[in-house]
C-alpha cells in the first residue's frame, strides 16, 4: 500500500474511488479514503497503484506491495533502495501458481502433480465476471 498526505493527493488531482478500514499500530481503527490511480516511479521502474490518503502534512509511505511490483529491495548494509540484483535491468514477476483460463487444473511450480479445480475453486473463466475499463470484476 502507498500512503500519501491529502495535500499531495489534491495537487495530483486524484479521484476518490472507495473507503477502507485501517488499523494503526496503536490498534485504533478508522475509515480512510482510497484515491487512484497514481503512477509511482522509483529507480527507473514504475507501477500504477491506488493510494490511501492521510491528513495534510503526514509522512508519505511506500509498502511491500510497491516494492514487490517494482522488484526493489533494501540493501541491508547501506539501507538504500536498490533494484533486485537477480533482475537488475527490469522487474521480475514470480508466478508460483497459475490456473489456465479454461483448464480444470492449476499448475504449481515445484510440483509434478497438478491440483484439481476443486482446490482452486474453479477456473479463471468461471471467476471473471466482466471487464470494465481494462479491469476484471471477480464474482
Q: How confident is the model over 101-107, as a mean pLDDT?
A: 54
**135 vs 35, more confident:** 35
The pTM is what?
A: 0.60
pLDDT at position 106: 52
Query: Residues 6 or more apart from 126 whose CB is under 8 A from it?
Result: 139
Count of Cβ atoms closer than 10 Å to residue 108 Cβ: 13
Measured CA to CA in angstroms, residue 56 lies from 34, 83, 84, 114 at distances of: 15, 31, 33, 50
The C-alpha cell at 85 is 540484483
**90 vs 57, more confident:** 57
- The ranges assigned to domains in the chain are 2-83, 97-138
Q: How confident is the model over 22-67, as pLDDT tens digits?
A: 998 999 999 999 998 888 888 888 888 899 999 998 888 888 888 8
Amino acid at each position: 500500500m502507498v500512503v500519501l498526505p491529502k495535500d499531495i493527493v489534491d495537487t495530483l488531482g486524484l479521484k476518490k474511488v472507495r473507503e477502507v478500514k485501517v488499523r494503526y499500530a496503536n490498534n485504533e481503527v478508522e475509515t480512510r479514503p482510497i484515491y487512484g490511480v497514481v503512477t509511482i516511479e522509483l529507480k527507473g521502474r514504475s507501477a500504477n497503484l491506488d493510494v490511501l490518503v492521510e491528513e495534510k502534512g503526514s509522512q508519505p509511505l511506500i509498502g511491500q506491495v510497491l516494492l514487490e511490483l517494482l522488484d526493489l529491495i533494501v540493501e541491508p548494509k547501506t539501507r538504500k533502495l536498490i533494484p533486485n540484483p537477480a533482475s537488475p535491468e527490469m522487474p521480475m514477476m514470480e508466478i508460483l501458481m497459475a490456473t489456465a483460463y479454461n483448464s480444470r487444473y492449476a499448475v504449481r511450480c515445484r510440483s509434478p502433480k497438478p491440483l484439481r479445480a476443486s482446490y482452486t475453486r474453479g477456473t479463471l473463466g468461471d471467476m471473471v465476471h466482466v471487464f470494465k475499463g481494462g479491469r476484471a470484476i471477480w464474482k
